[in-house]
Amino acid sequence: MANDYLTDTQSARGLFQSLEGMEGLTTRVGPAQPQARGWRKVRARFVAVYPGVLVASTIALAATWLSQHYGAPVMLFALLFGMAFHFLHEEGRCVAGIEFSSKAVLRLGVALLGAKITAGQILSLGVMPILTVIAGVATTLGLGFLVSRLLGQSRAFGVLSGGAVGICGASAALAIASVLPRTDDSERDTILTVVTVTALSTVAMITYPLIAAAAGLDHTHAGIFLGGTIHDVAQVVGAGYTVSPQTGDVATYVKLLRVALLLPVVVVLSLAWRRGAAQPGARAPLPVPLFLLAFAALVVAGSLGWLPKPAVEGASTVSRWCLVAAVGALGMKTSFGALVKVGWRPVLLIVLETAWIAALVLAAVLVSQ
Per-residue confidence (pLDDT) for residue 226, from 0 to 100: 94
Q: What is the mean pLDDT of residues 235-240?
A: 80
Q: What is the mean pLDDT of residues 105-115?
A: 84
The torsion region of residue 169 among left (phi > 0), alpha (psi -120 to 50) and beta comes to left
3-state secondary structure of 243: helix
The chain-wide mean pLDDT, for the chain, equals 81
Per-residue confidence (pLDDT) for residue 249, from 0 to 100: 80
High-pLDDT (> 70) share of the chain, % = 83
Q: What is the mean pLDDT of residues 63-75?
A: 84
Q: What is the mean pLDDT of residues 53-70?
A: 92
Residue 360 has pLDDT above 90, yes or no: yes
High-pLDDT (> 90) share of the chain, % = 31
Q: With cut-offs at 50, 70 and 90, classify the pLDDT of residue 104.
A: confident
Lowest mean pLDDT, pick from 24-38, 118-132, 197-211, 347-361: 24-38
Digit-coded pLDDT (tens) for 265-300: 988 888 887 665 544 444 444 445 677 788 889 989
**Alpha-carbon distance 286 to 270, whole Å?**
10
Residue 32 has pLDDT above 70, yes or no: no
**Alpha-carbon distance 304 to 124, whole Å?**
15
Per-residue confidence (pLDDT) for residue 185, from 0 to 100: 79
Q: With cut-offs at 50, 70 and 90, classify the pLDDT of residue 46.
A: confident
Digit-coded pLDDT (tens) for 303-345: 999 999 999 999 989 988 998 898 888 788 876 666 666 678 8
Residue 97 has pLDDT above 80, yes or no: yes
Residue 8 has pLDDT above 70, yes or no: no
**Alpha-carbon distance 229 to 357, whole Å?**
6
- Which stretch, 17-26, 51-60, 276-285, has highest mean pLDDT? 51-60
pTM for the structure as a whole: 0.70
Per-position DSSP letters for 127-156, written without gaps between them = HHHHHHHHHHHHHHHHHHHHHHHHTT--HH
Give the closest residue to 223 by CA, choosing from 200, 251, 203, 199. 251
Per-residue confidence (pLDDT) for residue 336, from 0 to 100: 67
**Alpha-carbon distance 197 to 17, whole Å?**
37
Per-position DSSP letters for 110-130, written without gaps between them = HHHGGGG--HHHHHTT-HHHH
Per-residue confidence (pLDDT) for residue 35, from 0 to 100: 55
Residue 1 has pLDDT above 90, yes or no: no
Per-residue confidence (pLDDT) for residue 20, from 0 to 100: 36
Per-residue confidence (pLDDT) for residue 5, from 0 to 100: 52
Per-residue confidence (pLDDT) for residue 335, from 0 to 100: 66
Q: What is the mean pLDDT of residues 243-272?
A: 85
Give the closest residue to 169 by CA, choosing from 354, 319, 355, 360. 354
What does the CA dihedral 183, 167, 67, 241 come to, rounded to 10 degrees? Answer: 170
